[in-house]
Structure 1
């Protein structure tokens, strides 16, 4: 036998090595549940922010104790959690602002799959600026990811990133419409890079009319993608707790391009808040034909019309965070590709 010819034993070792390499790669692509924020312990996992609004809103963020006393945070329908705003007090325009809630998760993450099942949001109401988002330390150097955001009578959700310099996105491979491609949070009035959703049902009154749905955000070292699934069309793998983004089709937002995601995003806390007016909603008040007909300024409207905000609330069924880990046994996955209109 030629000494250069590999033996059967050596060939078998090569085969085993290849199987181990590819098998390990396949296992590493599976998302496993890391944290579930839901039910009676939901608020235990969040800090209540009570400082001045960084966006200069006409808002008074209250503590957990005051929120509970005023009924601004607590149990909602069907085991969900409620986060609302004061909708009974008429204010002076020089007052601290309308009472509201801003919560930030005690735990932070770098990379993951974030699945938020939301039944109702405060969007589409003049004067409001609701958001579900995340950000890291030393803004904007650790990045910001805005999953749900809008102001005043907007009916299209805006998904965006805010970073330090040298991060741009291409805006391809998504169903949403790219609004800006430079993610530098210090430019263009802190606009960042953003895309508007391709369907009205992903935000505001239209979202609430269908009992909401699921927002899923996948954050890797290569990209950040955001999907929205209406209540009637939630993928079965999400409902079953074995989410597989590769089967979900084109996302509404696909943030990748000339941007090193790994160096721009890290250690994010999850945030829910509702502010009023501020740097965005107040500044575009006069360009919103619905809102500007109600009052000369955003602050005057918010101060004088408390009942306008009775529907400015969140109903959150759950937020689940998945991280990459070993593949689960194939027997743990439920077959089928049908959808299920239930909470997750």
Structure 2
């Protein structure tokens, strides 16, 4: 017989469930990068490329004078490699841009409105967050990354040893590798790729007017989301991010395409203060190793002046001799918003786990 006492217990459980299982978190506005003040929030990286790309990262003055950075008539920011000059020095490299945010964040949401991303043979663009300390202490979170003419984005974590991901996760993307250790597997990290005709990367992304990427880092996980420009389900806090107050990440954001749970398999202590980095390198350890001359405009027959047989060296020759190849190798960015995990929300998450 159904008793009143049993019904009361069921009601109590039902009332408590949202507090226990609700997958939501609140974040407070921290900083916005956009328009004329965008580059004020970034330092220009000018050291040799750590990934051995065939680029010369230039300072802010050189970038502005060379029209490699600026703001267009729609108030969108652009940053791009030089696509005009032939480099006659066999050891010469092409000018490009790598910037790093002055203000780091520890746990939060990063929302990027991207209109155009670099693509084409020899390109290796990335939008990522990395430790402000001695890498890989503090971790690295790659949000957007790919090479050459690929149409597949890859989001990846790189950490100290002892961080792995489960093979079964609630995400749209496909696992690449599960060991996040930066010193294992040639620093492959634990990546998730996604290519389901969604225009999330490369030429298809650009042809569709771009879209929004968001990275959410709280006490329990790191997640990466993507919405293409014409997606009717993009959350309002993503399509029109507030520049004060708070945003809430909840079920309305849908399923992430990359989900990295933090806990026993990978301690949240692997990630500390992070800065946002945007760069475009050319060739290098990844793009150069899988470079294919046939992917360049006009196909291999057009590049009879390329003498090397090695793919990496072929890539570097194209970089020096054919600036026109890189006319589509720039970023166009509407805005980047950063929100920090609120203190009240941190307390709620701790209570929920107990």
TM above 0.5, yes or no, is yes
8 Å CA contact 2:149, 2:203 repeated in 1: no
8 Å CA contact 2:25, 2:250 repeated in 1: no
Give the SS at the match of 1:79.
Answer: coil
Q: Compute the displacement of 1:289 (Å).
A: 5.5
TM-score (norm 2): 0.80
User: 2-side partners of 1:96 and 1:44: how far apart?
Assistant: 29
Correspondence 1:161-310 to 2 at 5 A: 161-171=157-167, 172-200=169-197, 201-233=199-231, 234-240=234-240, 241=242, 242-256=247-261, 258-285=264-291, 290=295, 293=300, 295=306, 296=309, 297-310=314-327
1:52 to 32, 38, 48: 48
8 Å CA contact 1:224, 1:254 repeated in 2: yes
8 Å CA contact 1:75, 1:81 repeated in 2: yes
Give the SS at the match of 2:43.
Answer: strand
8 Å CA contact 2:49, 2:55 repeated in 1: yes
Query: Alpha-carbon deviations, 1:227-261, whole Å to 9, x = none?
Result: 10011123223234335243211111011265334
8 Å CA contact 2:77, 2:333 repeated in 1: yes
Query: Alpha-carbon deviations, 1:68-92, whole Å to 9, x = none?
Result: 0000011124111010110011124
2:339 to 292, 305, 322: 322
8 Å CA contact 1:102, 1:274 repeated in 2: yes
Aligned length: 306
TM-score (norm 1): 0.83
Give the SS at the match of 1:298.
Answer: helix
Q: Compute the displacement of 1:112 (Å).
A: 0.2
Residue equivalent to 1:335 = none
Residue equivalent to 2:350 = none
Q: Name the Cα RMSD after superposition.
A: 2.6
User: 2-side partners of 1:111 and 1:260: how far apart?
Assistant: 15
Residue equivalent to 2:351 = none
